[in-house]
Structure 1
């Protein structure tokens, strides 16, 4: 047989990355907490750290045009907001200068602990949200959206969230959203929400991210292999010891 006539081996089929519904994401988190005995604090800490690393990659210190590497972190009252608090704390350790706007502080003791950690590290908390003009002129380089997350459009019609979303729709500085951009439905996507430049997906991307056109980072390497297989996540290979991947 002519060696040139030997057929080429079929390339290995790579299954596409799974985009999760809200119910699927909640089921994975429930299994992590109840079956695998992850603690909520443990998950939030890992996610917040990964978000801070993603911010440093999307907005490296050398890219900031303003003298001070200031970042405004806007936090909601639920879990997404607590991830934002942890993100701010790690950004401070990475030599950024985060400021936090946290208008409705949670009564959850765990979230209060995250708040205390930020206060003890002298991260300033604002009592009001700057206007879109102030956000630009007051030397903020970027905004971290940790407002609604998986709560999606459910809370965006209530104050202060309606005003926050109205302001974020107008700003010209870059926005990075944690898991689900505020004002987006976790499954159907952007109905009347903000338009972030960066999205940081936790565990696996949500269905709303399927058509996201900006920089998209995934923090999902910590997931046990059995969970990855059970939910057919088809996560990409993380190089080396990386726990964060740009999709």
Structure 2
């Protein structure tokens, strides 16, 4: 893929809006492409046991797609869900219902204090996927996600962040307390301005851009 200009938080939102409203691309298709591309990136690293940490929004929806594709590839996966099931909506809900029907194991971790089963699964995972908070978040992570970030950073597992490490500001590159320390970040459409800032380097790790099928005309419109 050719080098593309960086997208700010506002421009990333504009991509999603224009894709649906002008270019007739349903969000669920973009989510599928994002999740499948991320799953393929991780599969190339030969994961043995993957714990996928999902928040309430579309970042979590990407995580559900990743879970399905890794499961299809024969990789053991478990979802750690950091919101009540009732909060999941839209495209994320479509993909959540698929993994429910497929029988992929889901740990409900929405309580204020992390359940013991999360720590147990984290200790067995060689890879953790951070799909908790997306590029739209600008404030420090709240519980129980804040505690999960601390445990993940302290674990021996390698970490793959989806679009952005949870807790990082995608425009400024400034980390909140706490912020995921990823080994690599799979980000969508283009990289983000903050990822090149010195303050972000120890959090994003290697940055890999996943193309999710947005037309060149759409990107030109957003970037002009």
Shared fold (TM-score, shorter chain, > 0.5): yes
Gap regions ≥5 residues in structure 1: 1-14, 62-68, 234-247
CA contact (8 A) 1:92 1:98 kept: yes
RMSD: 2.4
- Tell me the residue number matched to 1:184: 168
SS in structure 2 at match of 1:189: coil
Report which of the two structures shows the higher radius of gyration computed on alpha carbons: 1
The answer to whether the Cα contact below 8 Å between 2:63 and 2:131 also exists between their aligned partners in 1 is: yes
The answer to whether the Cα contact below 8 Å between 1:132 and 1:171 also exists between their aligned partners in 2 is: no
1:81, 1:145 → 2: CA distance? 9
Partner of 2:97: helix, strand, or coil?
helix
Q: Give the corresponding residue for 1:152.
A: 137
Q: Normalization by structure 1: what TM-score? A: 0.76
2:43 to 56, 62, 70: 56
Tell whether the 8 Å contact from 1:135 to 1:171 is kept in structure 2 after alignment: no
2:101 aligned to which of 115, 120, 124: 120
Unaligned runs of 5+ in 2: none
CA distance in 2 between counterparts of 1:208 and 1:131 reads 34
- Compute the TM-score of the two structures, normalised by the length of structure 2: 0.83
Judged with a 3 Å threshold, the aligned counterparts in structure 2 of structure 1 residues 228 and 153 are, in CA distance, closer, same or farther, namely: closer
Task: Note if contact 1:80-1:147 (Cα within 8 Å) is conserved in structure 2.
Answer: yes
Q: Which has the higher helix share?
A: 2
Q: Which whole-Å CA distance do the structure 2 matches of 1:110 and 1:136 have between them?
A: 27
Q: Which residue of 2 aligns with 1:11?
A: none
Task: Provide closer, same or farther for how the CA distance between residues 16 and 99 of structure 1 changes in structure 2, counting only shifts above 3 A.
Answer: closer
In 1, the alpha carbon distance for the partners of 2:90 and 2:11 equals 27
Partner SS, residue 6 of structure 2: coil
Render the CA deviation track for 1:131-160: whole Å, top value 9, x for unaligned. 8964564x211000000011334360x221
- The DSSP-based 3-state class of the residue aligned with 1:154 is coil
Deviates more, 1:208-217 or 1:180-189: 208-217
Is 1:94 matched up with 2:73? yes
TM-fit CA distance, 1:228 = 3.2
How many residues get paired?
A: 209
Query: Structure 2 vs 1, CA of residues 109 and 36 (structure 1 numbering), >3 Å: closer, same or farther?
Result: closer
Distance in 1, Cα, partners of 2:191 & 2:158: 21
Label 1:221 to 1:90 Cα distance change in 2 as closer, same or farther (>3 A): closer
Contact 1:72-1:140 within 8 A present in 2 as well: yes
Which segment drifts farther, 128-137 or 26-35? 128-137
* Structure 2 equivalent of residue 7 of structure 1: none
